[in-house]
Amino acid sequence: MDKILSGAKKISVYDLLAISIGIVYLWFGALKFIPGVSPAERLAENTIDALFFGLIPSNVSVILLAVWEVLIGILLILNVYKRFGIILALIHMGFTFTPLFLFPDLSFTHPPFEFTIIGQYIVKNLIIVCALLILLKEAPTKV
């Protein structure tokens, strides 16, 4: 069951996994291009501001994040420079966990076990990280 027939081309389950993660990245990233549309916009602004000591203006930081996420999405969906896209996504995922430490009051109702909706939004990324690690193992080492 490693391959699924789609027309004349066989698509592997790894391709489907990469495409599904790519769609999430593309969608979430695209939302960040429109001010006030992404539910994670404020959290992203605050996190980037804290991580980079306010050196990047918030309007610029959200656009840079949007570009990063859309790029990851495109690379994974189109299956080009896949290993690079996966590594970019893993780096991004590392940053997504920082609000748990930077803003525990936003992430937990009772640390460290009771999550707020924001905390749940962050912790669910563990699934994406594990999927990315599986894809990284399967990705060709040469571009």
The model's confidence at residue 15, banded by pLDDT at 50, 70 and 90, is: very high
Which residue in 117, 131, 113 sits closest to 40, CA to CA? 117
Contact (Cβ atoms closer than 8 angstroms) between residue 13 and residue 138: no
CA 98 to chain centre: 13
Task: Specify the pLDDT at position 10.
Answer: 82
Between strands 108-110 and 114-115, the pairing is antiparallel
Domain ranges in the chain?
3-138
Opening angle at CA 7, ends 6 and 10, nearest 5: 45
Task: Specify the pLDDT at position 143.
Answer: 53
CA 97 to chain centre: 11
Task: Specify the pLDDT at position 11.
Answer: 86
Task: Specify the pLDDT at position 5.
Answer: 55
With H, G, I as helix, E, B as strand and everything else as coil, classify residue 11: strand
Q: Look at residue 36 and tell me whether its pLDDT is greater than 70.
A: yes
Tokens representing residue 117 in the block: 């909706």
pTM for the whole structure: 0.89
Between strands 3-6 and 9-12, the pairing is antiparallel
The model's confidence at residue 139, banded by pLDDT at 50, 70 and 90, is: confident
CA 11 to chain centre: 23
Task: Specify the pLDDT at position 111.
Answer: 86
Mean pLDDT of the chain: 93
For residue range 37-83, list pLDDT tens digits in order: 999 999 999 999 999 999 999 999 999 999 999 999 999 999 999 99
Write down the residue that tokens 């990469």 correspond to.
18
